[in-house]
Structure 1
Amino acid sequence: MADGEDDFSQLPLSDQFIHKNWKARKGGYEAATKAFDVAQTENDPLVRQFVSDSGIWKGVVADSNVAAQQEGLAALCSFLQIAGKDGCTRTRKETIAPIVEKGLTGRPAAKQRAQEAILLYIELDKADPIIEELLALLSHKQPKVIAATLGALTAAYHAYGCKTIDPKQTLKVLPKVYGHADKNVRAAAQELTVEFYRWLKDSMKPLFWNDLKPVQQQDLDKLFEKVKDEPTPRQERLLRTQQAAPPPAAAVAGPGGGDEGYEDELPEEAEDLELAVDVMPKVPKDFEERLGSSKWKDRKEALDELHTAINVQKMEEGPFDNIMRGLAKSMKDANIAVVTVAANCIELFGRGLRRSFAKYRSTVMGPMMERLKEKKQAVADAIGSALDAVFASTSFNDCLEEILEFLKHKNPQVKLESTKFLIRCLKSTKAAPELAQVKSIADASTKLLTESQEVQRNAGAEVLGTLWKIMGDRIMNAHLEGLDEIRKTKIKEYHDAAEVKAKYKPKAAVPPKPAPAAAGKRPVGKKPMAKKPTPAAAPPAEDTAPLAPKPTSRPGVSKLGPPKSGLTAPSGLRAPGLAKKAPGLPLPGTSTASPKRQGFIGAPATRELSPEEEDYAPPAAPKFGLGRGLAGRPLGKPAVSEAPPPPVVSGLAAADRAELDELRMEVERLRKQTEDLRSDRTRLSSQIHELQNQNAQLIEDHTRDVLSIKAKETQLVRARSDADAAEQLVATQQREVDRLKRELSRQIRATSPAPYDASEQILSDTGMNGSVGGRFGDSGYEGAAVGRYRASRTYGGAGAASPGGEGKENFSDGRSSKLSPLRGSGSGFRASASISSSSGGRASPADMGASTNGAESWKRAAEVTQNLKERIALMKAKQAARNQGQ
């Protein structure tokens, strides 16, 4: 066996990896582990061999022998450590699934090494490919593989954190895992969910929480309570890219190393870890159409559905422009319920989009502040919360101009609520206002102190007090001058009670000054090193004494004031005193300085220099004297070598100072231009808002006028139709009236004169008192004559006259009958009487028949007359009724 083992070790490692004998494979894995550990770089031939032959690792991690597999996983870990990103990307597709199926379900030692291999795969490149491979294994047939996969995911998120590994895709598949029949799988899923909760808290719930059963939600809530108060965890392992990156600036600046700075960034990190949710699919498709409905209930329902869709802690960016315009328009809605829900939606957008909401600020902020005129406190509170969310997503500089404009609003309610909003902004801002902004705020607030309402005055005082707390006494004293003591006392009370997050820190007065000072000090630091090798004698004391104090006694002569003061300050000794300690020492005989420079030192110092010479000659002498004072002993060579730089430095400093003055003037001019442009921008922005409001009002007026015109047109059409119908009715009634008139005239002509007049006349002429038959006995003939007369009068006399010409003459003409109605009757009567008398007083049967026909005619005439009377009375009644109706 020993010989066989020796033979195994003599085989190449690649042959040992695929050997049939598990001991040969195990020995090859161990030898490879040692070889990878001693390799220097990823370009080592052995490393490159196994990178090229990446398929061999699939059999290594899935070795059928558990002992060999354990060593194979160790060899893979060593290989990944040295192979780097290239070895990771070439082997991970072949090895991840076998590692989970064989390694994570094996012995504890193999499980530990398999877990380390997965973490190394993530560390060397990125986590997304590994997470995808692991999520694919959640559909495995064996429950133990699924549980092992969930454990690997938990370890990965625990080590690298949810900021490095995106948790969205994992959270979305959790409900499927919770529905597994195996309890170990469900338990592993709960551990993974708790790990997510440590990092994300409640922001992870929108992705999967509603897909869980109520019982599962209750169980998870109990587990969440145990870790709810724990601080947000920190990333334990770093990717190779993170290891190569420089540490954060805050961590470097930490006083105790890097931990303090890292802790300062933890709140922002925790905020970034919240998962962004895409809310656009949940927004109603017909939102804009329903928001434009004429019924307020439809508008409110649309806003309620939008509120439900966007009620998340963090949302992804999307095309919200039309929605924001609709919400801004809802601020002008007549129904306060619609306004309240719209303000709540804007608040959710501001808190969900955060910094991404800044581009919508100009769309919604103006209409919201304009609607602050609403006196109902619930509406004002909803709009105020929305404004706070807008401010949190932007900055103080972005909102200040618009706030100051509304502080001048003519509506007291708008002015008061805008002042309260400004106070909240000052208390919550983390950056102190600029000096120009302080002046604008102070001026606007001072005007509020003169308002007639006490609440307005108190609000203005609170603004000044809060601003005082931020800026400090030195800056605010100038703005508080001129106020009476009562107002100052009130402002001081608000100053003491204010709690702010920002604190003004004044900047350095002139930042460029330290650079010239440091440049002037640099030669001083080099002096001792240059003086030590070649010590030299100093000139006589009477020559140097007058020259040493010149730089300090006459600083105005030189053009470089600050560098000279910096040179004299470190010495602490006077140059004349030092010069007296070494009198009469000659100048060095061997000097590296040029004759020109030596001429500077040899210039006479006992006489006063002219102004023309002071610009050139004096700087060399102070350097010489200062060199002796700084060194503490007479040294000539360094002073000679350093004599020329002062004139050059002095000239540069003067040029720098002149340039600095010009730059200051330029800065001041640009600042004034900036203020002018800002004021112009504010004015133009207010004009734009006014024009927008006017445009909206004109649109509303136009719409109202169009609707009114349409209503008038409808009324006009109806009136025309009614007029046509009335005209037709009048024409019909007129025709009916004409017809009745014609009929009436015809009936009147037919019935005039009354028929009973002739009968009465006949009766009166004959002297019969109501009984004709009493006189004549059997008076049939006489009755027939009377009947014929009445019939002739009724029907125009046609065919009713006697056979003689007399009867026809009397009854054919109406007028003649009317003039002498009894003439014909008398003749007829006499004729009848004569006939009757000639016949001996008896009437013949023919005479009796005639008498009978006359009676019937009489009756018919009476009936016709009665009918005509009734019709005439009826017509008169209708005419009277019509006259009353008109």
Structure 2
Amino acid sequence: MSWIPGLTRCVAVLRRPRRTLPIKAPAPAPSMADQEEDYSSLPLTERFTHKIWKVRKGAYEDAAKQFEVTPDEHDPAFRPFLNEPSLWKGAVADSNVAAQQEGIAALCAFLKFGGREGCTRTRGSTIGPIVEKGLASTRAATKASSLEAILLYIELDTPAPIIDDLLPALSNKQPKIIAATLAALTATYHSYGCKTVDPKPVLKLLPKVFGHADKNVRAEATNLAVEFYRWLREAMKPMFWNDLKPTQQTEMEAQFEKIKSEPAPKQERYLRSQQAAMARAPPPGAGGAEEEEEAEGDGVEIDAFDLAEPQDVLSKVASDFHEQLASAKWKERKEALEALYATLNVPRIKDGDFAEITRALAKCMKDANIAVVTQAAQCIEVLAKGIRKSFGKYRSIVTSPIMERLKEKKASVSDALGAALDQVFIATSLSEVLEDTIEFLKHKNPQVKEGTMKFLIRCLKNTRNAPSKTEVTSIAEAAKKLLSESVEVLRSGGAEVLGTVMKIMGERAMGPHLEGLDDIRKTKIKEYFDTAEVKAKDKPKAAPAPTPRAAAPAAAPKKVVAKKPAPKKATTAPSPQPQEQGSLAPQPTARSIPGSKLGLPKPSSLAAPGAGLKAPMKRTLPGPGGAPPTASPRRPPSQTPPEEDGPAPPRLALGRGLAGRSLAKAAPAPAPAAAASSISPPPNSGLTALERAELEELRLDKERLIRQADDLRQERSRLNSEVQELKNQNAQLIEDHTRDVLSIKAKETQLVRARSDCEAAEAMCGQLRREMERLKRALTREERANTTSLASPGRESATDSAGIYRDTGIYGAPQDNARTAYPSRTRLSFNSALSEEKENSGDALAAQYGRTKTSQDIGRTGRTSAASGSGRGSPAPPNYSSAMENSSKQDGNGAANVQPVESWKRAAEVTNALKAKIEQMKARQGINRN
């Protein structure tokens, strides 16, 4: 019985006396406060990798708060995470979903306030975990923070690296990751646009995701394609459209129809580089709005050429192409061109030698069959569209043949030729096609003129570069010739050309070209000017750029008076007045104030350990981009004290932070690239918050002064240009004034001469008037004498004819002794009249009168040759002798002598002529006075 010994032992144990054991109290558990205090005392980087998720979560929250209160991206708070980027990899991929949410939020704060350096150092280790565990998270806040982190990575640098990191996720085995990545790409293109983020890498992969088995993936792919269509329109289809199933194409077309009527999309978020450019751009009132609209318009106009990859088509052209093109049958020529069109009709053609093909197509423009001509024009169109700028070297081969063929009246042919010309223009420029266009506007065929004119109008509307002044002149001259055409279409086209050019160049620039046109044509041109839509605007040449900031250090150093810092709070000591170095008195500093945060002990590299304030080392600040240290902006380089070999004397007046301590001797000017950088260097990690604020204030003052200097320099340049312009205007005014004074003096001289001529003419007129009166009186006397001689015809007739000769006494002594009834009175009156005339008139009057018929030769003295001689034996003048002969042949009735009557008539005629001349002189004098 084996169980009896065991039972016996049990009974023995039970009979033993009981012993009381002391009860130990349980040890008190550590309080949560002690645990939090212990964990909070750990460095932030250690808490990021702690094994307790609550500690990590708290570290993420503390880090986000710390990043938000940093003054700039160079704060020391960012340095540990820049040195160890792997900390963020663990934060965004935290195993605890609550901690992961805070970790991704902390990363967003780090990127937002940490700047570009934080982006470039951490994106390689964080994008993959964000895509796999952040975007696909079930928590909405985590997904939102993950998407924001991706958008921040793009904003801080460039989109290409982020897109390259996202694309591998489209091949993931989990459909939810693929769908989340597609959603992130859709949001990216929606925010930044297809101009900022290149769509080509994603477009290539769209057919693959459209063929995925998961419906969520296909739905997200559809959303991404719709977003692409908003930006690219039909240009996106050649990239992937043919790889879709017909049902998918139908569904996509239905989605596209919904957004066709929507306005063009605009970029919602901008890269940091774009934000800086927008900040430097002029305000909207100064032309910035127009430039921004143009930039936005350029962002929308993306065509298939920019998205497609170049294709080699030369190797695909048939080897017998030229033989078929030379066939006598037009159908074979057309088939060869159709095959060539199918080969060339690709979005983008790889550049090669297309000279031979281009010459063959140009030769086809002269083909008798219009179907061949149409197909050749289509081939030229797709070739120019496929190689774009490289087509410029073939332009001269095809332009003239196409324009010459515009004589075809069939619409399909003219449309094909016009489309080919349009693509040639897009591949080249307005300046390159303008010469041929102006030449064909002079063509004798009206149909060619009309087609060329329409092509010129399309070029003017679509060109983005305004024509030069010489080109505008040639266009205007050609268009004005069209205004006088007999065909209404050409006249209207000429007005439209001028109106379109006026829209580009402006009304003021086109004013001289419209001079001489009637009001009807000007009104027609103005109508086209109001309705024209152009893409180019003539802008004045930009003013010369101001001197860059990089050149500022090379100039002579100028004393810059820094702005005094604002008064500090009551906790800081007042700034002492500047004193000489030898008379510095100890002043309370920010570190010595009780209760100040700056009074806490903090390791610093400013002085050796244990030196305290007795021998502080001089602080030097690194220049921009790691350049040599520079002196404080508050002390000009010319006033910086030289550096001594021994220890510097103590400077205890540190109440103003950096303004109260000597920083360093002025270093040589930094490199231009470093000086031009606007990014502030990271401050020394040993600076306190007050000193950092002071340093930042000094930097702001420096930047403000540099900006002021640039503004003043530009203002001075502008004022100098205005002064020079005023000088030129003043010189021009002086020249005009001198010219006017000389003109006035010349007019005054002409007026004096005219007045003297008028006075001389008036005197001559009076003289002639008196002479005429005397002649009248002499004539009256002669008539009386003749009347008396007629009364006694026997003796008086002979006596009269001889008596006149004797009594005048002009031509010499009398020939006989016969006397008239009035010899003395007749001789006296007539002789005195003629002698007075000669003395007053001289040669001038003798020339004007042509000498009197009663004298043979009158000299300069106004006296006859007979009077100057002895007065004897002088022969009678021929005219007078003939008069005497005529008188002797008269009948016995004794006809009167008509010689005095003829002399009086001639004198009257001369007087009338002189009067007419006087009136002409008076009229000229009145014109000169006016």
TM-score for both structures, normalised by structure 2: 0.49
1:212 to 221, 235, 244: 244
Q: State the shift of 1:306 in Å.
A: 4.7
Q: Kindly indicate whether the alpha-carbon contact (under 8 Å) linking 1:439 and 1:479 is maintained by their aligned counterparts in 2.
A: no
User: Is 1:331 the counterpart of 2:405 in the alignment?
Assistant: no
The residue number in structure 2 matching 1:9 is 40
What SS class does the counterpart of residue 43 from structure 1 fall into? coil
1:463–1:156 distance in 2 versus 1, CA, 3 Å: same
Matching residue's letter, 2:119: C
Q: State the shift of 1:117 in Å.
A: 0.9
Measured against aligned partners, the alpha-carbon deviations of 1:816-868 in whole angstroms (never above 9, x if no partner) come to: xxxxxxxxxxxxxxxxxxxxxxxxxxxxxxxxxxxxxxxxxxxxxxxxxxxxx
The residue number in structure 1 matching 2:395 is 361
1:241 to 273, 277, 285: 273
Q: Kindly indicate whether the alpha-carbon contact (under 8 Å) linking 2:377 and 2:417 is maintained by their aligned counterparts in 1.
A: yes
Matching residue's letter, 1:287: V
The residue number in structure 2 matching 1:560 is none
What SS class does the counterpart of residue 248 from structure 2 fall into? helix
What SS class does the counterpart of residue 73 from structure 2 fall into? coil
Q: Kindly indicate whether the alpha-carbon contact (under 8 Å) linking 1:137 and 1:145 is maintained by their aligned counterparts in 2.
A: yes
Q: Kindly indicate whether the alpha-carbon contact (under 8 Å) linking 2:499 and 2:527 is maintained by their aligned counterparts in 1.
A: no
1:373–1:320 distance in 2 versus 1, CA, 3 Å: farther
The residue number in structure 2 matching 1:630 is none
Measured against aligned partners, the alpha-carbon deviations of 1:434-467 in whole angstroms (never above 9, x if no partner) come to: 776566456556766888xx54x75256425653
The residue number in structure 2 matching 1:188 is 220
Counterparts of 1:279 and 1:428, CA distance in 2: 26
1:430–1:86 distance in 2 versus 1, CA, 3 Å: closer
1:371–1:41 distance in 2 versus 1, CA, 3 Å: same
Name the structure where helix makes up a greater proportion of residues: 1
The residue number in structure 2 matching 1:62 is 93
Q: State the shift of 1:227 in Å.
A: 1.5
Matches within 5 A, 1:848-867: none
The residue number in structure 2 matching 1:285 is 315
Q: State the shift of 1:402 in Å.
A: 1.3
Matches within 5 A, 1:88-487: 88-106=119-137, 107-246=139-278, 252=282, 254-255=284-285, 262-263=292-293, 265-272=295-302, 276-278=306-308, 280-281=310-311, 283=313, 285-287=315-317, 289-294=319-324, 295=327, 299-308=333-342, 311=345, 315=348, 318-319=351-352, 321-322=354-355, 324-349=358-383, 360-374=394-408, 376-392=410-426, 394-409=428-443, 413-422=447-456, 425=459, 440-441=474-475, 444=478, 455=487, 459-460=490-491, 462-464=493-495, 466-467=497-498, 475=512, 478-480=515-517
1:76–1:174 distance in 2 versus 1, CA, 3 Å: same
Measured against aligned partners, the alpha-carbon deviations of 1:346-376 in whole angstroms (never above 9, x if no partner) come to: 3345566667755553342122113334455
The residue number in structure 2 matching 1:723 is none
Unaligned 5+ residue runs, structure 1?
A: 482-487, 512-648, 662-886
Counterparts of 2:254 and 2:44, CA distance in 1: 53
1:32 to 46, 53, 63: 63
Measured against aligned partners, the alpha-carbon deviations of 1:305-345 in whole angstroms (never above 9, x if no partner) come to: 45445557x74773474354553344344543332122123
1:160–1:496 distance in 2 versus 1, CA, 3 Å: closer
What SS class does the counterpart of residue 265 from structure 2 fall into? coil
Measured against aligned partners, the alpha-carbon deviations of 1:51-95 in whole angstroms (never above 9, x if no partner) come to: 111122211111100011111111111222233222222221211
Q: Kindly indicate whether the alpha-carbon contact (under 8 Å) linking 1:287 and 1:302 is maintained by their aligned counterparts in 2.
A: no
Matching residue's letter, 1:228: K
Q: Kindly indicate whether the alpha-carbon contact (under 8 Å) linking 2:362 and 2:402 is maintained by their aligned counterparts in 1.
A: yes
1:229–1:309 distance in 2 versus 1, CA, 3 Å: farther
1:215–1:425 distance in 2 versus 1, CA, 3 Å: closer
Counterparts of 2:81 and 2:302, CA distance in 1: 40
Q: Kindly indicate whether the alpha-carbon contact (under 8 Å) linking 2:407 and 2:445 is maintained by their aligned counterparts in 1.
A: yes
Q: Kindly indicate whether the alpha-carbon contact (under 8 Å) linking 2:457 and 2:497 is maintained by their aligned counterparts in 1.
A: yes
Q: Kindly indicate whether the alpha-carbon contact (under 8 Å) linking 1:60 and 1:69 is maintained by their aligned counterparts in 2.
A: yes
Measured against aligned partners, the alpha-carbon deviations of 1:589-620 in whole angstroms (never above 9, x if no partner) come to: xxxxxxxxxxxxxxxxxxxxxxxxxxxxxxxx
Counterparts of 2:457 and 2:89, CA distance in 1: 66
What SS class does the counterpart of residue 263 from structure 2 fall into? coil
The residue number in structure 2 matching 1:75 is 106
1:465–1:109 distance in 2 versus 1, CA, 3 Å: closer
What SS class does the counterpart of residue 41 from structure 1 fall into? coil
Q: Kindly indicate whether the alpha-carbon contact (under 8 Å) linking 2:311 and 2:350 is maintained by their aligned counterparts in 1.
A: no
1:44 to 75, 80, 85: 75
Q: Please identify, of 367-376 and 84-93, the stretch whose mean Cα deviation from structure 2 is larger.
A: 367-376
Q: Please identify, of 53-62 and 365-374, the stretch whose mean Cα deviation from structure 2 is larger.
A: 365-374
User: Is 1:84 the counterpart of 2:115 in the alignment?
Assistant: yes
Matches within 5 A, 1:693-772: none
Measured against aligned partners, the alpha-carbon deviations of 1:550-579 in whole angstroms (never above 9, x if no partner) come to: xxxxxxxxxxxxxxxxxxxxxxxxxxxxxx
The residue number in structure 1 matching 2:727 is 653
What SS class does the counterpart of residue 318 from structure 1 fall into? coil
Q: Kindly indicate whether the alpha-carbon contact (under 8 Å) linking 1:61 and 1:103 is maintained by their aligned counterparts in 2.
A: yes
Measured against aligned partners, the alpha-carbon deviations of 1:129-176 in whole angstroms (never above 9, x if no partner) come to: 111111101111111111111111111111111111101110111111
Q: Kindly indicate whether the alpha-carbon contact (under 8 Å) linking 2:239 and 2:308 is maintained by their aligned counterparts in 1.
A: no
What SS class does the counterpart of residue 173 from structure 2 fall into? coil
Q: State the shift of 1:426 in Å.
A: 5.8
TM-score for both structures, normalised by structure 1: 0.51
Counterparts of 1:324 and 1:308, CA distance in 2: 16
The residue number in structure 2 matching 1:768 is none
1:465–1:119 distance in 2 versus 1, CA, 3 Å: closer
Q: Kindly indicate whether the alpha-carbon contact (under 8 Å) linking 2:317 and 2:343 is maintained by their aligned counterparts in 1.
A: no
Matches within 5 A, 1:439-838: 440-441=474-475, 444=478, 455=487, 459-460=490-491, 462-464=493-495, 466-467=497-498, 475=512, 478-480=515-517, 499-501=531-533, 653=727, 657=731
Q: Kindly indicate whether the alpha-carbon contact (under 8 Å) linking 1:162 and 1:273 is maintained by their aligned counterparts in 2.
A: no
1:496–1:89 distance in 2 versus 1, CA, 3 Å: closer
Matching residue's letter, 1:152: A
Matching residue's letter, 2:95: S
Give the aligned length. Answer: 511
Matching residue's letter, 2:120: T
Q: State the shift of 1:208 in Å.
A: 0.6
Q: State the shift of 1:264 in Å.
A: 5.3
Q: State the shift of 1:127 in Å.
A: 1.0
1:320–1:11 distance in 2 versus 1, CA, 3 Å: farther
Identity %: 53
What SS class does the counterpart of residue 198 from structure 2 fall into? coil
1:439–1:653 distance in 2 versus 1, CA, 3 Å: closer
Matching residue's letter, 2:145: R
Measured against aligned partners, the alpha-carbon deviations of 1:190-218 in whole angstroms (never above 9, x if no partner) come to: 11111111111121111011101111111
Higher Cα Rg, which structure: 1
Q: Kindly indicate whether the alpha-carbon contact (under 8 Å) linking 2:311 and 2:349 is maintained by their aligned counterparts in 1.
A: no
What SS class does the counterpart of residue 115 from structure 2 fall into? helix
